[in-house]
Structure 1
């Protein structure tokens, strides 16, 4: 083993920030993530650059905001830019699970990819241009099992499908659940590996992205657990921009990811969905524990940086919404934990950071200088205790796609007190006082008392956009330096 640290990056899909017991969610059962959070550095205000999978992941693996990457929706083609730099520096780079590269099977700078994509997606090329059989599809076929999907579930029980709202306990072999499959695959691969090269291992769990489909034994763990659910008022819905109403209607009319949404879910409906979702997270927590145990037994953790995060959140009924595509914290705020045996001082940081800030943090840990074109900022100044924050505000962007059809483009600016969401070419928007209204329930966009503040913040958004438009996109190959001591 060389002096370079092993780097393990674990990314879940669509995991809210309030899903880890040790970080303020007492209803959650997450002993492994709790341990990482207590012993490592937990960033409690980490924001994604876009509330959709591909836009967020492209920023993370390219180090720039969507306006610079050009990746705004789940259909834009993209590949990582800095993984190859790790490979060129001597790292063995491997991806197991979901990364959402487009095309799905692109190498993306990795030496090996065992890719698994969304749990519920079309499979046939004449039905969907990106359809492809992945490692999980092949395993299910080898077992002669039919993968559950929106099509099979609806055909079997149309009325039950509508009532389920995306929550379906897993009924096939336990090890054929996508999150179990990826966790087991990672453990198997690690046990088989013989290389002495430093390892960059990216593991992508498809959950807790819908369908919310935990194993029954995990769902039983939450049978009587009281999980907070929102109370959405007519006043709150009336104050939302028109495009949000269009998004809700799209979710009701269609059944994206096996979720057949409803305009007024009951408290019991929301509690059932959230129990399924929480059980999905606990399943992943168990698998992360098995992966870490294997890494430790193989000696990888003696010199390693482990990072756990997610690509965006899930409304789960907050503000009348399901899934993502909005700029509420439940959609754009994610967990971020960095842990190592001997190099990360245990701390909980409330600093505003962006998920893409993980990129220069990894490169510097590997002894590489991040590209000058990066808009991402290294977390090491905070981790080392040199500063308390690296950003005064965070940003997120979203463009129109086949699901969010209302807004041509929206951008969020958030600081420690105010959040503004600007909708291009529209007279409506969002403004929240996060100190007095952390739940983002009172939209102050039309408040006469806040008009000057709103206009000032919108001006900042427009200036930020113009500066981004003229900024150089030239990529600079990372240059070797001394590896960060972990």
Structure 2
């Protein structure tokens, strides 16, 4: 077993934790991810540091919290990453698909990048052609997107669900999976390899080819995630405004409904899960190609997602909130025989950006002393001592659909979650032991005053420690 394994990092966009059958969710169809779960290590409580794409990814690829990077919303510039350290140490670093750097084509430490960005829109209003656009153009096609979806008579009732009507191979997730497989099959063998594959889905629009969604639409066991009237009445004012905003503004081709029908929700889940199954198929094909070319003889494969998706829970769609449906993500680590024990689940809390120092240590590299991320390698090496995070944190500022609130901060222990809204006397406090669905807000419950104070104090100490720890860090990550 080599000291420097090949490292394959597969990242989807906006994929909920409960979308992998082997993790106990039988309505999902994910045979390839199931095999990774069964022969790998699952981190069941992995939480992102930001509930939207760009700040979450910038945090992952730098090793710092969003308030340290200064990247707290989509559209903010960032481009320098710890991938530079891998490249400089001799790894061949290749990105296929989405990373969401800004500018979109920054090298970000990679030797090669083949960029595919958001499904239905230009990147934050700037004109560009990514690899997917070029492939469509070469076939005389233009990707399905809001400009065309808006012309459909059922647009406002579709909740962002559409059938992919162009050639299946040119669906964004098919294209990324096929492109990554093509690179593996055609590039001269090179080791050690760091391959990052970023699937654009299941981020909306929810648009798999019809054969994927139709299978799910026929099922009667899909979740009904509509919120109760009682919960909707107690939502924080920011989230009330977000609900109205998402009806008025069609982010990512999704026009939300304040009162979706059961049929609409079934279609929403069917399209979402259909997209997950499509991605699962492409992951299986990629792993087969990697195995055939010898890359998996000594390798670590990591599967995860940058954040989740409400899909109607709490009356909400998409992200930009601190519920577990958004902040908790799947994280599965598989290794070739002999490196890590197979078939394990690690239940302690960790943060998504902890993958950064984990990958650096796998590559035999030192982790910068001021990194706020912590390596998960001791947890993977079952005999080593690993201490879960007592608290995990999440933060978001200045983004769309935030209901006029400038800054949101979340803190979560194993039992409790608190969400602080800057400038608001109201917040959220959930007892996750008694209320895992985060339905009953205990913020104003006198019996919980001590817990609320403890979590607010921990949030304050975290910010002070963060400022002290990173005081000498150059503000050059962007």
TM surpasses 0.5:
yes
Post-superposition offset of 1:447: 1.1
Q: Does 1:271 align with 2:259?
A: no
2:26 counterpart residue number: 26
Which residue in the other structure is 1:67 paired with?
67
TM-score by length of 1: 0.94
| Kept in 1: contact 2:47–2:350 (CA 8 A) | yes
**Preserved CA contact (<8 Å) 2:189 2:293:** no
Matched residue of 1:7: which SS?
Answer: strand
Superposed CA RMSD in Å reads 1.5
Report deviation, 1:475: 5.0
Q: Which residue among 299, 320, 328 is the counterpart of 1:325?
A: 320
Counterpart pick for 1:210 among 204, 211, 214 = 204
CA deviation vs aligned residue, 1:417-465 (integer Å, no higher than 9, x gap)? 0000111221010000000000001000011221232122112212222
Q: Alignment partner of 2:419: what SS?
A: strand
1:146 aligns with 2:142: yes
**Residue 285 (structure 1) aligns with:** 280
| CA offset digits 1:230-286 (Å, max 9, x no partner) | 241222122221111111111110100000111111122111101100000000000
Question: Which of 331, 344, 358 is residue 355 of structure 2 equivalent to?
Answer: 358
Partner of 1:186: 180
Give the whole-Å Cα distance in 1 for the aligned partners of 2:127 and 2:66.
24
* 8 Å contact from structure 1 (residues 41, 383) kept in 2: yes
Return the alpha-carbon distance in structure 2 between the equivalents of residues 175 and 314 of structure 1: 25
Normalised TM-score (structure 2)? 0.96
Cα deviation, 1:1-46, whole Å, max 9, x if unaligned, reads 9742100000000000000000011101100000000100011110
Distance 1:370 1:390 in 2: 18
**Displacement of 1:219 after TM fit?**
1.6
* SS of alignment partner, residue 295 of structure 1: helix
Distance 1:238 1:457 in 2: 25
CA distance in 2, matches of 1:152, 1:473: 48
Please identify, of 218-227 and 285-294, the stretch whose mean Cα deviation from structure 2 is larger. Answer: 218-227
Superposition pairs of residues 306-317 of structure 1, within 5 angstroms: 306-317=301-312
Cα drift, residue 387 of structure 1: 3.1
Paired residues in the alignment total 470
Structure 1: state its 5+ residue gaps. Answer: 477-486
Supply the distance in 2 between the matched residues of 1:2 and 1:459 (Cα, whole angstroms): 45
2:169 aligned with 1:172: no
Kindly state the Cα deviation for residue 196 of structure 1 after the two structures are TM-superposed. Answer: 2.9
State the 1:197 CA deviation.
3.0
Query: In structure 1, which of residues 379, 383, 387 is the aligned counterpart of residue 380 of structure 2?
Result: 383
**Superimposed CA distance per residue, residues 89-114 of structure 1 (whole angstroms, 9 cap, x where no aligned partner):** 10000100000001101111101100
- More deviation, 357-366/382-391: 382-391
Q: Could you list the runs of 4 or more consecutive aligned residues of structure 1 that deviate by over 4 angstroms after TM superposition?
A: none
User: Equivalent residue of 1:398, what SS?
Assistant: strand
Question: Does 2:403 align with 1:433?
Answer: no
Residue 84 of structure 1 is matched in structure 2 by: 84
Aligned equivalents of 1:472, 1:258: Cα separation in 2: 39
Alpha-carbon contact 1:16-1:330 (below 8 Å) kept: yes
User: Secondary structure of 2:297's partner?
Assistant: helix
3-state SS of 2:332 partner: strand
